[in-house]
Structure 1
Amino acid sequence: MSSIRTMLSLSACYDLEVEQMDVETAFLHVDLKEVLTWSNGKPERFVTRGKEDYVCRLKKSLYGLKQAPRQWYKKFKSVMREQGYKKTTSDHCVFVKRFSCDDFIILLLYVDDMLIFCHNASRIDKLKQVLSKSLAMKDLVPAKQILGIRLTRDRKAKKLWLSHERYIEKALQKLSMDRVKAVNTPFATHFRLSVKHSPSTEIEKEEMQEFPYSSIVGSLMYAMGCMRPDLVYVVGTISQFHSSPGSEHWNAVKWIMRYLCGSSNLKLCFGNEKHVIVGYTDSDMARDIDSRRSTSCYLITYVVRHVPCIVIVRVRFICWDIIRNKRHIDVRYHWMRDVFEAKMLELEKIHTDDNDDDMLTKTLSRGKFEALCLITDIEAFLI
């Protein structure tokens, strides 16, 4: 999802054409190399009298096969490679073809949905024609909705908005909470959730089974991952009790839904006048009641210069590699030192009152939370 947000933000800034295509029955386009047989549940037209015990060998992939997603990607990658496209190292589902310094076309694949970005609409048309020859495609023309997210655009103002309003409204309707009294923050300060709030008796466990805790948490996780960074902290908190939620945990979920009832129309906006990348990181310093561990998070605001963006993400992955593989710490350390000496990145201590990352690690007062929403939800995006 981060690749989609990044490309949409770049399209708003550079006024790129954004068009969408959908592959019809994507997994059925794939030829299988493995020998797979089908015996149980064969359609009647595949059953021959006297050969009822015969099995069918699959030549094409089917939905439900564990090989299907991988084989579909390999098929699509080969088609793109034949046309001179290269996959990016940071995301293998992003394909790029460059014609000159400022002339390029980028295709982003999400299972069977595609977003195509380019300055030149004629290049997009040519790519569509090529793909349609190899795959059964549905042309959705200018992108208006992807993965349940509504896209609204003002090209003159170089602004693009993402909305998850309809998705959130459906989630509220499932709980009959679409008309409840709304609250102003996703978490109240009195919530201090712990494993001690989990059911301790069989009766309590049976009572909690009546509530769709897991289903709602899953819906919230999708909304959070797509375009609602204001939900990061609260969803991370309630998901810790997924295996054994108690009444207090359920009260916290209902509070979050009340917050969404009043904020379902919040939109993520891309396209501002900032021309630098700003990354924030923060930790709540051992606030977990049960383990005394800290909750850490990072926030990266909109980027125009794509090179520093790649560097910051790469530094984050390298730091993770250092933790996992200390043998290469000297190589990683010197690489990062060179990056800082070249002034590709600059570290700066941010006072807690000015740290936009606070909303991702702790419960905040209404005033501070709303102030950060104006920055994080409206003018920035979470990578």
Structure 2
Amino acid sequence: MGNKNWVLVPRPTGREILRCRWGFLVKYTGTGKIDHFKARSVIKGFLQEYGIDYNEIFSLMEVVLSLDLEIHQIDVKTDFLNGLLEEEIYMPQPEGFPSPGQEDLTHKESIWVEQAPRVRYQTLSAFLVKLSIFKLIKSNYVFIRTIDGVTCYIAVYVDGLLIIVPTRALITELKSALKKRLSITDLGEMKCLLGWSIQPDRNNRTIFVQKVIDRHSNYILYPSATPADRNVKLPVSSQPASEAGKVAMKSYPYRETVGSIMYLMVGTRPDMAFYMRKVSKFLANPGTEYWNAVVRGLKFLARKKDYDICLGGSQEVTPDNLADRLTAYNDSDYANYPTRVVRLEDT
């Protein structure tokens, strides 16, 4: 409300009123403790109609830079509320904000509408250009500035910004400039990002891993040394064919568990990739054998919950030689057909 993101108006004639709801979020520190709470009035953007409520959209991606630089985190309080929508969006007043005679809101800026990421990106990009910070040609979500041989980066993600620079003095300079335009919270050195605990000494367990383990603790009776059993196959014929079998499987959180582990795999646990390729094939109609395979992955996470990825940390790494230091390993099988001797390799 303080940013004048919407105004109260009478209900318009002939316009769809998009429903809204409150969204509550808990922000954690790098050690897993509660840092602060956030509340947002979010509009149900999936109800929008193309050509009426929006015309163009845009989506940002996350990036991690593996150079040994200073990394500080900024939380943008207003999220998608910094831009100006070209279209008028109407929704009921949020619960708890009644105003007699004014039944609806007109949104000039709003979170979760289809075009909100695009509007916010345009606003932020224009502001950074004024600071001589320009986006990379091949990445719309990483901005870069080089002055007198000193390079700084700003990575954009959903909740805010990462400032990646070689010196603390430069961090202070950039933060001061950002505060002139954005309503921000300075979180200091990056400790927690998207549920992952990020520590220079790598001694703390990942927050999200622990949450997954705690959520499924009833199924983890003992740990496992590997995420999958090489001798166990998961054929399509093991899927339940009867309605009784399908109903029985609904008591297991198959989709939720696979989705949680996949989130870990994409971010910090590539060792779960082969396992996820197996169990994610049967989300629509999983059987008991498939659920047992998922549980084995949970047992492996319980045993190896402190596994992580080490990025950078070596003085020998520079932007010029980083590509030469990247090493990838490849595994192969018989094209997932144990009875056929057909070897496939990815290079």
TM-score in same-fold range (> 0.5): yes
State the 1:177 CA deviation. 4.4
Give the alignment partner of residue 249 of structure 1, picking from 290, 297, 319.
290
Residue 191 of structure 1: which of 228, 232, 240 is its match?
A: 232
Give yes or no for the alignment of 1:84 onto 2:125: no
2:10 paired with 1:10: no
Corresponding residue for residue 115 of structure 2:
67
Q: Is 1:31 aligned with 2:84?
A: yes
What do the CA deviations read for 1:207-235 (whole angstroms, capped 9, x no partner)? 00000000000100110011101001111
1:120 equivalent in structure 2: 167
Residues 40-83 of structure 1 show CA distances to partners (whole Å, capped at 9, x for unaligned) of 878765442xx76xx54322x22231222221122211111121
Please state how far the C-alpha of 1:180 moved relative to its aligned partner: 2.4
C-alpha distance 152-214 of structure 1, shift in aligned 2 (>3 A): same
Taking a change above 3 Å as real, the CA distance of residues 205 and 3 of structure 1, as seen in their structure-2 partners, is closer
**Could you list the per-position Cα deviations for residues 4-53 of structure 1 after superposition, in whole angstroms to 9, with x for gaps in the alignment?**
43x1x212xxxx211111111311222211122335878765442xx76x
Q: What is the letter of the counterpart of residue 187 of structure 1?
A: A
Distance 2:270 2:285 in 1: 25
Matched, 1:57 2:106: yes
Paired position in structure 2 for 1:139? 186
Q: Are the aligned partners of 1:169 and 1:264 in contact in 2 as well (CA < 8 Å)?
A: yes
Q: How many residues are paired up?
A: 280
Alignment pair present for 1:278 and 2:327: yes
Number of the residue aligned with 1:228: 269
Quote the Cα distance in structure 2 between the aligned partners of 1:41 and 1:290: 60
Residues 33 and 243 of structure 1: CA distance in aligned 2, closer, same or farther (over 3 Å) = same
Unaligned runs of 5+ in 1: 155-160, 299-383
> Contact 2:220–2:295 at 8 Å: present in 1 too?
no
Name the CA distance, whole Å, in 1 between partners of 2:131 and 2:86: 23
Alignment gaps of 5+ in structure 2: 1-59
For 1:290-316, what per-residue CA distance to the aligned partner results, in whole angstroms no more than 9, with x for missing partners? 999988767xxxxxxxxxxxxxxxxxx
Instruction: Give the SS at the match of 2:140.
Output: coil
CA contact (8 A) 1:104 1:119 kept: yes
- TM norm structure 1: 0.66
Distance (whole Å) between structure 2 residues aligned to residue 125 and residue 86 of structure 1 = 19
Distance 1:294 1:43 in 2: 63
Distance (Å, rounded) in 1 between the aligned partners of 2:95 and 2:86:
21
Amino acid at match of 2:72: E
Give how far 1:92 is off: 1.1
> Is the contact between residue 177 and residue 258 of structure 1 (CA under 8 Å) also seen in structure 2?
no
Residue 214, structure 1, aligned to residue 255, structure 2: yes
- Counterparts of 1:284-323 in structure 2 under 5 Å? 284-287=333-336
1:262 and 2:303 are equivalent in the alignment? yes
CA RMSD in angstroms comes to 3.0
Whole-angstrom CA distance in 1 between matches of 2:262 and 2:268 = 10
What one-letter code is carried by the residue in structure 2 that aligns with 1:112? D
* Residue of structure 2 in register with 1:174 after alignment: 215
Q: Which has the higher helix share?
A: 1
Change (3 A) 1:197 1:297: farther
Cα deviation, residue 248, structure 1: 0.4
Question: Secondary structure of 1:92's partner?
Answer: strand
Deviations 1:196-217 (A, max 9, x none): 1111100000000000000000
**Cα distance between partner residues in 2 of 1:125 and 1:4:** 22
**Residues 39, 118 of structure 1: CA spacing in aligned structure 2 closer, same or farther, 3 A cutoff?**
closer
Identity rate, percent: 28
Paired with 2:151 and 2:199, the residues of 1 have a C-alpha distance of 24
How many angstroms does 1:132 deviate by? Answer: 1.3
Cα 1:229–1:68 shift into 2, 3 Å: same
**Where in structure 2 are the equivalents of 1:329-340 lying within 5 Å?**
none
Flag the structure with higher strand content. Answer: 2
Alpha-carbon distance between aligned partners in 2 of 1:283 and 1:108, rounded to the nearest angstrom? 35
Change (3 A) 1:257 1:235: same
Please name the residue that 2:37 is paired with: none
Q: Name the CA distance, whole Å, in 1 between partners of 2:340 and 2:92.
A: 51
Preserved CA contact (<8 Å) 1:149 1:163: no
